[in-house]
Structure 1
Amino acid sequence: MIVDSHCHLDFPDFAPDIDAVVERARTAGVGTMLTICTHVSRFPGVLAMAERFPDVWCTVGIHPHEAANEAEVDAETLVRLTENPRVVGLGETGLDYFYDNSPREAQRRSFRAHLAAGRLSGLPVVIHTRDADADTAAILREEREKGPFKALLHCFSSGKDLADLAVEMGLYVSMSGILTFPKAEDVRTAIADVPLDRLLVETDAPFLAPTPKRGKRNEPALVVHTAAKLAEVKGVAVEALWAATTDNFFTLFDKCARPTGSAPQTDGTV
Structure 2
Amino acid sequence: MIDAHTHLDVRSFEDLEKMALCGIEKIVTCAHNPYRMSVPEVYLDHWERLIGMETKRGLMAGVDVKVAIGIHPMGYPKEWQRLIEEMPRYLEDKNVVGVGETGLHYLRDDEKNLLKEQLKLAMEYSMPVVIHTPEKDKGKALQEILKILKEVEIEEDLVMIDHINRDTVDLIDMDVYVGLTVQPTKINPEEAVEIIENYDRKFILSSDLGSLKSDIYALPRTRLLMKKRGLEKRKIVESTYKNARDFYRL
| Range class of TM-score, shorter chain | 0.7 to 0.9
For residue 33 of structure 1, what is the aligned residue in structure 2? 27
Once the 2 structures are TM-superposed, how far is the Cα of residue 124 of structure 1 from its aligned partner?
Answer: 1.1
Residue identity opposite 2:215 in structure 1: N
For residue 117 of structure 2, what is the aligned residue in structure 1? 113
Contact residue 129 and residue 153 of structure 1 kept, 8 A: yes
In the alignment, the residues of structure 2 paired with residue 192 and residue 26 of structure 1 have an alpha-carbon distance, to the nearest angstrom, of 27
3-state SS of paired residue (1:96): coil
What percentage of residue pairs aligned between the two structures are identical? 23
In the alignment, the residues of structure 1 paired with residue 221 and residue 188 of structure 2 have an alpha-carbon distance, to the nearest angstrom, of 8
Contact residue 35 and residue 46 of structure 1 kept, 8 A: yes
For residue 79 of structure 1, what is the aligned residue in structure 2? 88
In the alignment, the residues of structure 1 paired with residue 218 and residue 140 of structure 2 have an alpha-carbon distance, to the nearest angstrom, of 32
Q: Scaled by the length of structure 2, what TM-score is found? A: 0.77
Residues 232/114 of structure 1: CA separation in 2 closer, same or farther (3 Å cut):
farther
Residue identity opposite 1:253 in structure 2: Y
Residue identity opposite 1:128 in structure 2: H
3-state SS of paired residue (1:22): helix
In the alignment, the residues of structure 2 paired with residue 230 and residue 119 of structure 1 have an alpha-carbon distance, to the nearest angstrom, of 35
In the alignment, the residues of structure 2 paired with residue 106 and residue 115 of structure 1 have an alpha-carbon distance, to the nearest angstrom, of 14
Cα RMSD after superposing both structures: 2.9
For residue 152 of structure 1, what is the aligned residue in structure 2? 160
Which of 224, 244, 247 is 1:249 aligned to? Answer: 244
Contact residue 175 and residue 202 of structure 1 kept, 8 A: yes
Which of 37, 47, 50 is 1:46 aligned to? Answer: 50
Contiguous gaps of at least 5 residues in structure 1: 98-102, 209-214, 257-270
Q: Does 1:141 align with 2:147?
A: yes
Residues 57/191 of structure 1: CA separation in 2 closer, same or farther (3 Å cut):
same
Contact residue 51 and residue 86 of structure 1 kept, 8 A: no
In the alignment, the residues of structure 1 paired with residue 151 and residue 194 of structure 2 have an alpha-carbon distance, to the nearest angstrom, of 29
Residue identity opposite 1:37 in structure 2: A
Contact residue 61 and residue 114 of structure 1 kept, 8 A: yes
Q: Write out aligned runs for 1:187-226 (5 A).
A: 193-196=198-201, 198-206=202-210, 217-219=214-216, 221-226=217-222
For residue 9 of structure 1, what is the aligned residue in structure 2? 8
In the alignment, the residues of structure 2 paired with residue 5 and residue 227 of structure 1 have an alpha-carbon distance, to the nearest angstrom, of 14
Once the 2 structures are TM-superposed, how far is the Cα of residue 69 of structure 1 from its aligned partner?
Answer: 5.9
Q: Scaled by the length of structure 1, what TM-score is found? A: 0.72
Contact residue 75 and residue 116 of structure 1 kept, 8 A: no
In the alignment, the residues of structure 2 paired with residue 248 and residue 200 of structure 1 have an alpha-carbon distance, to the nearest angstrom, of 6
Contact residue 99 and residue 128 of structure 2 kept, 8 A: yes
